[in-house]
Structure 1
């Protein structure tokens, strides 16, 4: 009777996981499909607009970096979609690691560039930085520093640590690298990123709201007619994108790390994948600009 009971339990477990995976796939196909369509449309239209205007401003240069990041992520999404549609990964183990790593690389690099825009505008507002002192090459240098620093941090983790466990090498499965959270160094890394992102966003959010309220008070009733106010509203928009797309993933990550185990809680895995997918929705930011949400 013992073998029969073991088999029954195993089958029940597989059914639960299979139902979770099927439900997860439907949600992820919808999310990634919307991001791919909207993000691609927004990035293409914004590229054409920037090309026509030939803007040399510091913000335009940073936005160009963000568009490059979006393009890299959007290129990887069809591979993700094929996996969730077919439930089979056909592109090799390294491509699986790469497609999985790109989504995190995109999130953190985009976060840094968003924060750079907000900080630069705040420095100008508080007279700590003069617009005429900024040349295009200053922002180009800043962009190169961000890319190089991020690369020096990300690449060693990706090639030497991320998803290198031999248990991941099954050719038909992919994007299950959350199992690395059983490793102490990845737990510490995740907690560090959570604290850094949430602390940074909360600090900038409070400062930004204070600036906006101060401008409303001093410029009322023709607030929107002033370029300075519109610039700060744009900064607030970037912070709002971080709050909507990135913070939910990091807030849930705390619960996920504390409760996930080698038993693989399928419900937590489902929610984790959904929150990871939500981070890609920041690619719709350019569509918001084109659509007139932010002029």
Structure 2
């Protein structure tokens, strides 16, 4: 009788307690709103260009757009605590946030490395000669990430039902796949690579910023070069805020997986979605510059 009661409790206990579900809704709602506004502003301010930075920004915009299309389904699930859209769609929605993390990560690297090379005056090598070349380069990155991530998620994640769970009503609970050694090793490798790359990029950016400050001294704020490096530093800070905490925790999560850590992992994963706010930073400068130009023209006409 006691065993039956215990099993019944396990079957009805939620994967995500109310406090976590409320917190996740609070995190994803501004991401959805702010990210959507950023995409709209950025799409109206982008100009045609073959530069590596512009192509990377366009790719980032598409990455954020595809991810934001899945965010309402995440909010729906955390509000209702029931998934009624099927396991396959759950896997797709779940894999999109991971695709968003690593596609964004790659394009951030490209943007930062491009800006670093600009500092060393290698600008002549940082443009695509043809639009086709930009398309092929972008497509290659997409195929590598989506071609490996989506099949692995669909095949491995959710293939083992967790005891006491109804898989057709539960989503984002695929942690049992981490018990497989190849997946565990792959997670370790990805986490270490992300953390090392973030550290190296941050070190380079701080060194460049220090060199620029030494060059201009107290009047650094009056020089565009210093502000350009501060903008690059903002990208580094976005990477550290959004990617480092999640991958640092994930090492612990993978090494000592148990069901109770699933909800904590989901919170750290939600913080990676705040990269969607980068479009506001991209678009902000262009919007304010255009607004200022229009105001000046209006004043001159008067």
What is the TM-score normalised by the length of structure 2? Answer: 0.84
- Cα distance between partner residues in 1 of 2:201 and 2:48: 30
Query: Residue 242 of structure 1 corresponds to which residue in structure 2?
Result: 239
Residue from 135, 142, 157 that aligns with 1:147: 142
CA contact (8 A) 1:62 1:117 kept: yes
Query: What is the alpha-carbon distance in structure 1 between the residues aligned to residue 203 and residue 127 of structure 2?
Result: 26
Using the alignment, how far apart are the partners of 1:35 and 1:8 within structure 2? 41
- TM-aligned CA deviation for residue 288 of structure 1: 3.3
Q: Is the 8 A contact 2:95 2:150 kept in 1?
A: no
Asked if residue 157 in structure 1 is aligned to residue 152 in structure 2, the reply is yes
Does the 8 Å CA contact 2:209/2:229 hold for their aligned counterparts?
yes
Aligned counterpart for 2:207 among listed residues 205, 210, 214: 210
Q: Whole-Å Cα distance in 2 between the matches of residues 160 and 173 of structure 1?
A: 17
My pick for the range that moved more, 99-108 or 165-174, is: 165-174
The DSSP-based 3-state class of the residue aligned with 2:85 is: coil
Q: Which residue of 1 aligns with 2:90?
A: 96
Q: In 2, Cα distance between the equivalents of 1:203 and 1:152? A: 27
Cα distance between partner residues in 2 of 1:187 and 1:259: 11
Taking structure 1 as reference, are residues 18 and 207 closer, same or farther at Cα in structure 2, changes over 3 Å only? same
| Structure 2 residues not aligned, in runs of 5+ | 290-302
Superposition deviation, residue 139 in structure 1: 4.3
Which residue among 94, 98, 101 is the counterpart of 1:107? 101
129-138 or 36-45, larger mean C-alpha shift:
129-138
Q: Deviations over 1:16-49 (max 9, x none)?
A: x549521211111111111101111111111112
* 13, 19, 28: which one aligns with 1:23: 19
Q: Distance in 2 between matches of 1:11 and 1:92?
A: 24
Tell me the number of residue pairs that the alignment of Structure 1 and Structure 2 aligns: 284
Offset of residue 12 of structure 1: 6.0
Deviation at 1:234, TM superposition (A): 2.2
Shift of the alpha carbon at 1:7? 4.2
Aligned twin of 2:184: 187
1:61/1:139 contact within 8 Å kept = yes
Separation in structure 2 between the aligned mates of residue 247 and residue 39 of structure 1, nearest angstrom? 20
- Does residue 244 of structure 2 align to residue 251 of structure 1? no
Matches of 1:136 and 1:159 in 2, distance apart? 38
8 Å CA contact retained: 2:91, 2:154: no
1:1-295 pair list within 5 angstroms: 3-4=1-2, 6-10=3-7, 17-18=13-14, 21-50=17-46, 53-127=47-121, 129-131=122-124, 134-135=127-128, 137=130, 139-165=134-160, 170-261=167-258, 264=259, 266=260, 268-291=261-284
Give the corresponding residue for 2:293: none
Alpha-carbon distance, 1:132 to partner: 6.2
**In the TM superposition, what is the alpha-carbon distance from 1:143 to its structure 2 partner?**
2.0
Q: Which runs of 5+ in 1 are unaligned?
A: none
Report the Cα offset of residue 233 of structure 1: 2.2
